[in-house]
Structure 1
Amino acid sequence: DTLPRLPPTGFGTYPGRKRGTVHPQSVSFPCPACQRDVDLGERGLGSLFRNLTLERVVERYRQTINISAAIMCQFCKPPQLEATKGCTECKSSFCNECFKLYHPWGTQKAQHEPTPPTLTFRPKGLMCPEHKEEVTHYCKTCQRLVCQLCRVRRTHTSHKITPVLSAYQALREKLTKSLAYILSSQDTVQTQIAELEETVKHTEV
């Protein structure tokens, strides 16, 4: 008797696996502190959250020491001129002439605020009027939105500060409960109003 031939190791099939498919490989990244490999999963760096604050710092650093390549106007006809302004709403960088051309007076685009030219445009959020930074927290004591620089200033020392998302969720929950209470009391209030109107009619008679 002959034994049945077994498939080579690694080439077998099992439920849920298609023939010929390859398992995605896990991506590892060396930790800069301990030099150990950290498993980032199948998506690698794409699975990590973006650090918008760090991105902003890096962008400013590049603009300060001018280590990045020159950003060219995206609307110039050849030869292209170097971009001098950016537009978050248009998500484009312009030279002076093209910015005026694509943001004519009397139109909605004329209200777009110019920013430094860049290749990475982030969604424009609420800005701190004092530091011109994007607001990230809410000061319960002052009842106002604050940015990262506001948090470290003495003005908000010992104040109760919470992330914007947490403050939004808490306020939304509070308003939802208040609205539910008002709606549940609506019938009672209308009944009381009707009774008062009847009382007034009888009094006038």
Structure 2
Amino acid sequence: MENLEKQLICPICLEMFTKPVVILPCQHNLCRKCANDVFQASNPYLPTRGGSLTSGGRFRCPSCRHEVVLDRHGVYGLQRNLLVENIIDMFKQESSSKPAPERKEETPMCDVHEEEKINIYCVTHSVPTCSMCKVFGAHKDCEVAPLTSVYQTQKTELSDGIAMMVGNNDRMQGIISQLEEACRAIEENGRRQKNLVCEKFDQLYTILEEKKRDMSQKVTDEQEEKLNYIRGLTRKYGDHLEESCKIVETGIQTMEEPEMAVFLQSTKPLLKKIADASSISHLDKVERGYENMDHYSVNFKKEGKALRSIDFIQGDGTEIAMIAVSLLPARGTVVAASVQPGLQPQTNAPAAAKSAAST
């Protein structure tokens, strides 16, 4: 029965599943309320109406991290696991009909006074100790308190810390999903902008081949720079999430410790780890529109018109004097494009004239 009870624990609320129980595509189960909480934490920008999501979205299973994609019904579109619900009902009936088994409590003994049990808590040094240490030993001048009161206080604090970590992990998973979407958007925008640049330069390919390579490389450089930054940031969030999950697992195992003294011996360092891992202020945030690369726009209408005006200059009836390039009132430029802010357009009039003459 004890092993069965462990299988009926929700990985989110750490309590026995509350009906209705939904089954995810990966075959893991969640309380529908817990599934909705995870879903909303992973999709904070989806529109809501009456406290419930009104469009589809996605989140990751807290047990195996498998991505769950939902339709417009949200978590209410997930299938209920009636088998698990029936097992929970039978388990509760069986548990209520049987007396609770007596558990043997093994109180740890004091390291200094080996025959004395640890039965009080030294508030001054934050360690459990025995009565002899308080009367004659190292803690005789310290403030002490009953184990029970300190046990309840720190257990509540640890439970709150675990709940906070679970929420933080869900939010970080949402951030990672958004970063992955940003990577895909940057790749798509980079491909689209390079194609636009190539299409424009293909019309003047023989004249502008070098400029086409330069501008394409600028797009590629910024694309790679942004992708490297986003991927590095994704790895940082992933590492932080992995460490947080390990702390949560340790906290859950500690919560199952029935002995108060043993529990208190491991609580203080664990609470410090939770406090340290709960902060993500040291991790960078991606600014809105960071993935946008529309500033690599080009327009060659003016240059195309100028190139179409290239023609022979007729001499005195029989002689062709020269080939002129009519681009600007004075010696003009061939290439002009809207490029990244801060970069000045480059000109290459002599090269254009030379190429036109050779044509």
TM range (shorter): 0.3 to 0.5
Greater relative contact order (CA < 8 Å, ≥ 6 in sequence): 2
- Max radius of gyration: which structure? 2
Structure (1 or 2) with the greater helix fraction? 2
Instruction: Name the TM-score, length of structure 1 as normaliser.
Output: 0.35
